[in-house]
Structure formats: structure tokens, C-alpha cells
Amino acid sequence: MERIVYVNGEYVQESDAKISVFDRGFLFADGVYEVTSVLEGKLIDFDGHLRRLRRSLVELAMTIPCPDEELLSIHRELVARNAVVEGLVYLQVTRGAADRDFAFPKNVPQTLVLFTQAKSIVDSPLAKRGARVVSVDDLRWGRRDIKTVQLLYPSMAKMIAQEKGADDAWLVQDGLVTEGTSNNAYIVTQDGTIVTRDLSSDILAGITRAAVLKCARELQMKVEERPFSIAEALTAREAFTTSATGFVCPVVEIDGTALSDGNPGAVAVRLRQAYIEESLKAAI
């Protein structure tokens, strides 16, 4: 069935949606995006996603496309029109359409596009089984804190992982894990400490990361925000990832070596449950 999508102020059938061939999102990957998950027809962590959207736009000298309340009502309208109970809302803002030139154009209207995707997130076979990851060199640009639409290298890394029979890649820079292709990466040490890389321009500040670390601290779990290597990860009791579309997803194998007994770890399972409960309470 065709979805209703949002393009520059209008709700249209997906096959009627049109963007200029001169759009800078298309020509230069000159745009940013956000993905907000939907549970029970409600938006999860919406304020966090809006905050990060604003930051990404400011970092790229772009303006905010419309007031927050309008963005919220577009999200809600799309969820309602497409009858999404569980899934996600994807939002993209680009610098707009202009003659192809490396310099940013002036006074050009931005392009704002949103669409929904129905997806089972809570009842996820991958989360039940646990993901297998492989390490891949992190060859992305130096501003990974900005959520831009230039996702070619993460896609390539995902393909390398799939070719090796794994589910995803963990990206490694100077011997240390930065993050997954589309998620933040964590290990749980033998003494039960949760370790995840500290925030910097090396990684995206995951909205789920912030919420899950809050849950962990509330559950009296010890958290260390510092880089770790693949060698250290292989000595870990368990590992997991976080993202808006995967929530907390256990990792059971790294570079072909199983962690502990090869099953999802207790900390990941507990945090997944806690995150789902807490985010549902705060969903809007």
C-alpha cells in the first residue's frame, strides 16, 4: 500500500512526491536527518531528536525549517495518516535546490521531507538472537557528531559485514571502536561495568545512548564513557548496541568469536526492557 509522505508543506502519495534534481541533498549529501521511533502509535524521545536536529543544522550553517510544534504535528499527522503503530518517522532537511556550486547558495528554500516506515522493533528476531559484528576500519569523515545524510561508507561497512556472514560492522579508528554503522557500541566488562566511547566528533551522540545510560545509572549499573579496543571487547562478558530503530540490541559475536556462552547478555536484556518501559511512559 502506498504511504502518505510529507514534502515541503504537502502530504502526498509516495509515488507523487517530487524533489528537484538540483537538490543539494542529492548532489552533495548536503543535508541532515533524524529517525524517531514509534511505539503504540506514539513518538519516542522526540525532544531529544529535535534537539539534535537543531544542533546538526547549526553546525552546517543551516536554518531550522519550521517551529518545533509544527515538526511535532507533521510527525503525528504522518503516523496517523499511515496508521503506524510501531516503526519510525524519518525526517530529512537539505539546503535546497540551486545551480550546482560548491559554495552554499544564499536565500534558497530548504527541502523538508518526512516519511514513515512500519517496523517491528520490540519483537525483534535480531534482538532475541543477538547480533554478530565484525570490525572494519572507520573511514568516515571527521564530523560524525553531525547527523548528515552522507551514509555511503556506513553502507559499505554494512555490506562488508554481510559478506562475512555478520549482521553489522563495528568501526575502528586508531585501534579503538568508534561505533556501529548506525548505532552506538558498548561492552560489559567481567566486573559488570558498561563501557561505551565518550562523546566527541568521532561519534554520533545517540539519543538512545543518552536514555539507556540514564536507565543504567538508575539501575545502579556502573558506566564508564571511554574508548575500548576489539581486543578488550573480546574479553568482555557481553556487548550490545543502541539506536532508535534497534533500541538495545545484544551483540553475541565479534570477528567470529562468541562472547561468553554466545547468548544475549543479562545486562543488555535488562536494559532493553528498562528502556522500552521508560520510553513508553514518556512517549508523546
Angle in degrees, 0-180, between the axes of helices 207-218 and 46-59, rounded to the nearest 10: 130
12-20, 162-170, 177-185, 256-264 -> range binding ligand PLP (CB under 6 A): 177-185
Site string for ligand PLP, 188-227 (x = CB under 6 A): ----------------x-xxxx------------------
* Residue list 87-146, contact with ligand PLP (CB under 6 A): none
Nearer to ligand PLP, 188 or 244 (CB): 244
- Does 242 participate in binding ligand PLP (rule CB under 6 A)? yes
* CB closer to ligand PLP, 62 vs 157: 157
Examine residue 182 and tell whether it contacts ligand PLP (CB under 6 A).
yes
Q: Is 179 one of the binding residues for ligand PLP (CB under 6 A)?
A: yes
User: For residue 172, what is its C-alpha cell?
Assistant: 575502528
Does residue number 56 form part of the binding site for ligand PLP (CB under 6 A)?
A: no
Query: Does residue 184 interact with ligand PLP by CB under 6 A?
Result: yes
Alpha carbon distances (Å) from 109 to 53, 64, 98, 112, 192: 17, 11, 9, 9, 50
Looking at residue 90, its amino acid is: Y
d(CA 262, CA 240): 12
Smallest distance from ligand PLP to CB 51, Å = 11
- The Cα-based distances of 258 to 30, 161, 168, 213 in angstroms read 40, 16, 15, 25
Q: Taking CB under 6 A as the criterion, which residues in 15-44 touch ligand PLP?
A: 35
Binds ligand PLP (CB under 6 A): choice among 202, 243, 254, 271: 243
CB of 150 to ligand PLP, least distance (A): 11
- What does DSSP say about strands 176-180 and 168-173: parallel, antiparallel, or unpaired? antiparallel
CB of 31 to ligand PLP, least distance (A): 14
Q: Give the interface size with ligand PLP as a residue count (CB under 6 A).
A: 13
Q: Please, which residue, 19 or 205, has the CB nearer to ligand PLP?
A: 205
Does the annotation count 147 as an active-site position? Answer: yes
CA distances from 27 to 21, 62, 66, 96 (A): 8, 17, 23, 10
Q: How far is the CB of 87 from ligand PLP (least distance, A)?
A: 14
Q: List Cβ neighbours of 193 (8 Å cut-off, separation of 6 or more).
A: 222, 223, 224
Closest CA to 186 of 234, 256, 242: 242
- Spatial separation of the C-alpha atoms in residues 74 and 91, rounded to whole Å: 10
Exactly one of 147, 164, 222, 281 is catalytic; name it: 147
Pair 121, 39: CB distance under 8 Å: yes
Give catalytic residue positions. 147
Residues that bind ligand PLP (CB under 6 A): 35, 179, 182-184, 204, 206-209, 242-244
